[in-house]
Amino acid sequence: MRGEALPPGQREARGWPVSHYGPVPRFRVDRWSLQVFGATATGETYSWSFDEVMALPGATITTDLHCASGTTTRGHEFFGVPASALMELAPPAPDVTHVMAWAEYGYSANLRLSDFTSDRTLMATHHNGEPLTVEHGFPLRLVVPHLYGYKGPKWLRGIEYMTRDRRGFWEERGFHTIADPWAEQRYSYQEDERPQGPCA
């Protein structure tokens, strides 16, 4: 990752600053679960305890993180459960098109199903070989390497399968519903823009 180009309009930040809306939630293992709900193939809701999530097969990815406010931090190694593996354990109904990723305190981010199932999308438990710190999302954090950071809820608690799109927390507050940093999709007003050709 290091040495590669940054997405347009991004500048590199040193270290790994913490940024999120609201307070850092306290983790209580006995009250914690990860749930998959909404339009599952069978109609049932799936639930995993902290120990069960930690026992799921893991994978490692290395990625930069791009905040839509313009800073990029580079070379993060995340270990955790691939989103595609979770989908195999909790299959979606055939007409599911999007997911909502839910975190503590009602933070949410909508994703196209294809972004969620992308082979590098991960529910991370570890960063650079250590458990995530609470500020960075312990015990579980979604990482969607090819999208802006707001698509990756820290303190992840649930995945809702949806049969049509709905906007999440930042998407309702003026941020882009897709959030591809390479296309610089920061703001919701850009969703109406047509590609500019010679006759535009």
Ligand X SMILES: Nc1nc2c(c(=O)[nH]1)N[C@H]1C(S)=C(S)[C@@H](COP(=O)(O)O)O[C@H]1N2
Q: Give 65 or 162: the residue with its C-beta nearer to ligand X.
A: 65
Burial (0-12, 13-18, 19+ Cβ within 10 Å), 21: exposed
Which single residue brings its beta carbon nearest to Mo ion? Answer: 67
Percentages helix, strand, coil for the chain (3-state, rounded to 5) are 20, 30, 50
- Write down the least CB distance from residue 149 to Mo ion, Å: 4
- Write down the least CB distance from residue 84 to ligand X, Å: 21
Residue 92 binding: pick among ligand X, Mo ion, none (C-beta 5-8 Å cut-off by kind): none
- Write down the least CB distance from residue 155 to ligand X, Å: 5
Selected binder of Mo ion within 38, 82, 145, 149 (CB under 5 A): 149
> What is the rounded CA–CA span in Å between residue 112 and residue 163?
10
- Write down the least CB distance from residue 105 to ligand X, Å: 7
From residue 51 to residue 80, what is the string marking binding to Mo ion with x (rule CB under 5 A)? ----------------xx------------
Q: Give 81 or 109: the residue with its C-beta nearer to Mo ion.
A: 109
Token representation of residue 178: 């897709």
Residue 179 binding: pick among Mo ion, ligand X, none (C-beta 5-8 Å cut-off by kind): none
Place of tokens 């599911």: 96
Place of tokens 């949410």: 108
- List of residues 6+ apart from 74 with CB closer than 8 A: 1, 2, 12, 64
| Cβ contact 158:116 at 8 Å | no
> What is the rounded CA–CA span in Å between residue 181 and residue 7?
6
Q: What is the distance in angstroms between the CA of the first residue and the CA of the last residue of the chain?
A: 36
Residue 155 touches ligand X, criterion: CB under 6 A: yes
Of 42-50, 92-100, 105-113, 148-156, the window that binds Mo ion (rule: CB under 5 A) is 148-156
Contact residues toward ligand X (CB under 6 A) are 16, 18-21, 65, 67, 103, 107, 136, 149-150, 152-155
Contact residues toward Mo ion (CB under 5 A) are 67-68, 149-150
